[in-house]
Amino acid sequence: MVRSGLIRALSFWAFVAFLFAYVGILSTAMFVFQFGFGELPCPLCILQRMGMMLASMGALYIVVRAMRGDLAIRDLAMGLGLAVLGAVAGASMSIRQILLHIAPDDPGYGTAVLGLHLYTWALVTFVVVIVFAAVVSVFAAEMLPVAPAGPAARMIVWIVVWAFVATIAINMVVVFAEEGFNWVLPDDPTRYELFG
């Protein structure tokens, strides 16, 4: 019984780490690359960010239900399904962008990090999400997340949850500023259309 409780607690923290990781990834893409280096995201980059947000909504749903104490297997399945849906959508956008830049002399879009462009790293994260969701699905009964009871741990979780919500809100404002009132964003954006 103790082992089962430990696995369920670790499962909960794995979903919190899932959220925290995507907060870090989305924040780095926005604050470091977009604002710091001046690299505006292309339409495919924005769609990949949306895939990350959608995948994270599944983890968010699971974490919040666990914090409320009413997480059931069907809720876990719904959250994992949402995570996989977001990861598959994002992965398809990443693969599309990788294929656009697969020619030998093509420099790619944006700055490379450790030899790979952000859209390639995005694909790596989407594959990790799909594998994570598959493993949790296989062992769903044993890995049904249980939230911590301590106030300090619960505060940490709520900070991560609200950081994720803030990240989504800031991304929405930034995408609106970049696209303005246009229906189509240029393939290689050079300015914020709302202010142009």
- pLDDT number for residue 148: 84
Concatenated DSSP letters of 8-72: HHHHHHHHHHHHHHHHHHHHIIIIIIIIIS--PPPHHHHHHHHHHHHHHHHHHHHHHHHHHT---
Q: How far apart are CA 165 and CA 146, in angstroms?
A: 22
Extract the residue ranges of the chain whose pLDDT is less than 50: 1
CB proximity list for 25: less than 8 A, separation 6 or greater: 52, 125
Look up residue 132 and give its amino acid: F
- pLDDT number for residue 2: 53
- The dihedral built from the CA positions of residue 46, 50, 51 and 53, taken in this order, carries a sign that is positive
- pLDDT number for residue 119: 85
**Domain locations in the chain as residue ranges:** 2-195
Look up residue 27 and give its amino acid: S
Q: How far apart are CA 187 and CA 59, in angstroms?
A: 31
Residue 63 CB-half CA count within 13 A: 26
Look up residue 169 and give its amino acid: A
The per-residue pLDDT for range 111-158, each reduced to its tens digit, is: 777 877 888 899 999 999 999 999 999 988 888 888 888 899 899 999
Residue 24 CB-half CA count within 13 A: 7
